[in-house]
Amino acid sequence: MYKILLISAVLTIAAACSSSKKVVPSQPDLVNVNAAYPDLTLADFNQGKILYGEKCVVCHALKSPKSLSPERWPSMVADMTNKANKKEMRIDPTQEALILKYLVTMSTPGK
């Protein structure tokens, strides 16, 4: 029930903001958020999504979050953060954590 209320609240907000360019999670995104990290806020989820789009596209096209299992993303993101930081494209630990949460969320099957 809570999930349905949350989804309809977000959809209402999404409809209200549809003229602006805000990133709004889709309904399937929200199901995944609940499955992977029950405490993850939508603000953090969206921030992770934005950072992923900004930071992880510098050297190659964005990989689909579903291209790796949730278990494999932590070492991959750590690896890629090292690569980025060696090339002076700073990804700080807070940003790394948000990107990882976004990718794990999106690769975890919804409940």
The contact set with ligand HEC (CB under 6 A) reads 55-56, 58-60, 63, 68, 76-77, 80-81, 83-84, 87, 89, 91, 99
Q: Among candidates 38, 60, 65, 35, which has minimal Cα distance to 49?
A: 65
**Contacts (Cβ under 8 Å, ≥6 apart) of 20:** none
Closest separation between CB of residue 33 and ligand HEC, Å? 18
Distance CA(36)–CA(70), nearest Å, equals: 9
Give 6 or 97: the residue with its C-beta nearer to ligand HEC. 97
| 52 close to 29: Cβ distance less than 8 angstroms | no
Give 81 or 108: the residue with its C-beta nearer to ligand HEC. 81
Give 6 or 50: the residue with its C-beta nearer to ligand HEC. 50
**Contacts (Cβ under 8 Å, ≥6 apart) of 99:** 48, 51, 52, 55, 56, 77, 91
Closest separation between CB of residue 10 and ligand HEC, Å? 25
Closest separation between CB of residue 6 and ligand HEC, Å? 27
Give 39 or 88: the residue with its C-beta nearer to ligand HEC. 88
Closest separation between CB of residue 54 and ligand HEC, Å? 9
Distance CA(88)–CA(98), nearest Å, equals: 19
